[in-house]
Amino acid sequence: MAKKITAPLTTETAKDLRAGDSVLISGTIYTGRDLAHKRLTDALKAGEKLPFDLAGAVIYYVGPSPAKPGQVIGSAGPTTSYRMDAYSPLLMEKGLRGMIGKGNRTQPVLDAMKKHGAIYFAAVGGAAALIARTIKAAKVIAYDDLGPEAVRELKVEDFPAIVINDMLGGDLYEQGVAKYKKD
């Protein structure tokens, strides 16, 4: 049974999540991938204001395909997360509480998640047309010149994801593979 949660995430919500939990996320999340992460961290280092409030924020690693006429957004599945690992610890230090992507994170990110109380979720990579149905509104709020890599504010309803890493060090990828590995 999936847990219904709201974004931005409160500390209380994040604390209760465990690796392996299925969740349905509703509320506001922000898109950001490679180049957007570079710009966000450059802005933080320069003491500039970010295009959205990081406190409790959830960033979805996605570069959607263009919306057809009548669509809110095109196909919108997750991209591979490790490419954001160089930037994520600083964002968590400044308030980021959730990340949605796919694939394994590196140790510095896992350490920062424990330290700052953040959650890493996976969405199903390649289920991009299915996921798009849970996105009810989308608008570019920064870095429009980056095209698919621009930062978008998304309003989502029951966006399906799975908790991969919780703030206690639980890791669903490790647990799942250990269970099914055969020598």
Partner 1 sequence: MREIQFETIKDAVAKLCIDANCLLGDDVVQAFKDGLKIEESPAGKDILSQLLDNEQIARTEMMPICQDTGWAVVWLKVGSDVRVQGGELYDAIQQGVVTGYTDGYLRKSIVKDPLRRVNTKDNTPAIIYTDIVAGDGLEIVVQPKGGGSENMSEVKMLSAADGAEGIKKFVVDRVARSKANPCPPVIVGVGIGGTFEKCAMLAKHSLLREIGSVHPDPLYADIEKELIERVNKLGIGPQGLGGRVTALAVFIEAFPCHIATMPCAVNINCHAARHKSVTL
| Catalytically annotated residues | 37
Strand residues in the chain grouped as ranges (E): 3-7, 22-31, 58-60, 98-101, 119-122, 135-142, 151-165
Coil, strand or helix at 137: strand
Between strands 58-60 and 151-165, the pairing is unpaired
Question: For residues 1 and 151, what is the distance between their CA atoms, to the nearest angstrom?
Answer: 32
- 25 versus 54: smaller Cβ distance to partner 1: 25
Output the smallest distance, CB 180 to partner 1, in A.
4
Output the smallest distance, CB 106 to partner 1, in A.
12
Between strands 22-31 and 58-60, the pairing is parallel
- 27 versus 82: smaller Cβ distance to partner 1: 82
Output the smallest distance, CB 81 to partner 1, in A.
8
Using CB under 8 A, list all residues that contact partner 1: 35, 62-68, 71, 74-77, 79-80, 82, 102-104, 122, 124-130, 132-133, 146-149, 162, 172-173, 175-183
Question: For residues 51 and 143, what is the distance between their CA atoms, to the nearest angstrom?
Answer: 9
Structure token digits, residue 68: 């057809």
CA-CA-CA-CA torsion sign (83, 90, 152, 165) = positive
Q: In terms of Cα–Cα distance, which of 98, 80, 100, 75 is closest to 34?
A: 80
- 115 versus 133: smaller Cβ distance to partner 1: 133
- 28 versus 104: smaller Cβ distance to partner 1: 104
Output the smallest distance, CB 149 to partner 1, in A.
8
